[in-house]
Amino acid sequence: MIKKGRKITILLMGGGSFLILIFILIVCSLFVYLYRELPGGEEIEIVIPKGATGKEIGRILKDRELIVHEYVYLLMTKLHPSLVVKYGVYKIPKGISPKQIIDIFSKGPVKQLCEYKITIPEGLTNWQIAMLSPNPDEFLKLVDSSEFIKSMGFDAPTAEGFLFPATYCFEEIPDSYTLAKAMVEKFKKEWNKLVVSMNLKLNNEDLYRILKIASLVEEESKIKDEKSLISRVIYNRLEKNMPLQVDATLQYALRKYGEPLSSSDKEVDSPFNTYKILGLPPTPICNPGMDSIVSALKPAEGDFLFYVVSTDGKSHVFSRSYDEHLKAVREYRSRNSDRKDTEK
């Protein structure tokens, strides 16, 4: 009986050791499965909605065949309790490990989901942008103050010229400061790219001069290929101490956007009247886009001093002399007169 009892004990001990070995193998296999480093394959784009629970995120991963079961993700969240998954769009390579998925989530989304979106077209003024904002009066008061733009690192009387045209996304309706700050930060980012790519060495005064010229270019032409020519005309006139005579500066001063100017408008007493005052206006006259900024930095070659709308009503005819310019003006007026007669 004693020998038999010893045999049972040995069997139990052996069986227990075997079970422990099996358990260790399972745990090791699970660890390897969860934490192995894999190169991954095709990137799968997934959307994590606002307020999604861990189980819902696990189900999204399973449905896109990124994990075998939603409980795999739930296990990983238990192993990484500090993980916070921000809602938005993620790109996850197919075939990577659960731990690698957790690492991707910890870095945040590649694209935000827009609860509030605002698109700012190129060439709008502070006032026009304010009309698109949630709180127009508050926004305009902020961006027209020198305190705000100086707090953003630029020495200028207002934020005119620094509110970069783009589409902005927010998790909720932004206050005026958050919205304006996002626009100036976007300008900084795009400007710094130019500084590096073009190896620019400009101080704050130089930058502000470029923005003034870019704002004139933006308002005078929407055709990308001729922006650098508009820029050249402006530089040539400045060098020859000629008045710029840019209608857009008066439209800015009088808020007569898209309206023809009268003879009396050109006599108005304003620092933005480039018919009467030499040099650039005191501030940019709009918030220009990148094409206009680049054109202000790299004007075309040529000795052009004049331009007028061509007979197509969109592009411009550029002239080197006043006689050439008058001829182009007569052609435009003649064609415009013929068109009106046809429409009668």
What are the extents of the domains in the chain? Answer: 43-107, 116-198, 221-343
Given the structure tokens 């139990």, which residue do they identify?
12
**Residue 288: CB atoms within 10 Å:** 29
State the pLDDT confidence band at 133, using cuts at 50, 70 and 90: very high
Span 43-107 CATH architecture? 2-Layer Sandwich (3.30)
Do residues 47 and 113 touch, judged by C-beta distance below 8 A? yes
What percent of the chain is predicted at pLDDT more than 90? 64
Q: Sign of dihedral through CA atoms 257, 262, 263, 267?
A: negative
**Which residue, chain included where needed, has tokens 């959307």?**
47
Please give the pLDDT value at position 14. 55
Model confidence band, residue 35 (pLDDT cutoffs 50, 70, 90): confident
pLDDT at 191 over 50: yes
pLDDT band with cut points at 50, 70 and 90 for residue 8: low
For residues 132-159, average pLDDT: 97
Of residues 114 and 13, more confidently modeled: 114
Q: Are 182 and 148 in contact (CB under 8 A)?
A: no
- Does 9 score more than 80 pLDDT? no
pLDDT at position 342 over 80: no
- In the structure encoding, which two tokens stand for residue 230, read together? 């508009």
Least confident interval from 77-81, 155-159, 255-259, 284-288:
255-259
What CA dihedral angle connects 215, 218, 221 and 223, to 10 degrees? 150
Q: Say whether 117 sits in a helix, a strand or coil.
A: strand
Give residue 113's pLDDT: 82
Q: Say how far apart CA 141 and CA 148 lie, in whole Å.
A: 10
In this structure, are residues 98 and 78 in contact, taking their beta carbons and an 8 Å threshold?
no
- pLDDT tens column, 198-237: 999 999 999 999 999 999 999 999 899 999 999 999 999 9
Nearest alpha-carbon partner for 249 in 227, 209, 210, 276: 276
Whole-angstrom CA distances from 81 to 27, 283, 305 are 20, 53, 68
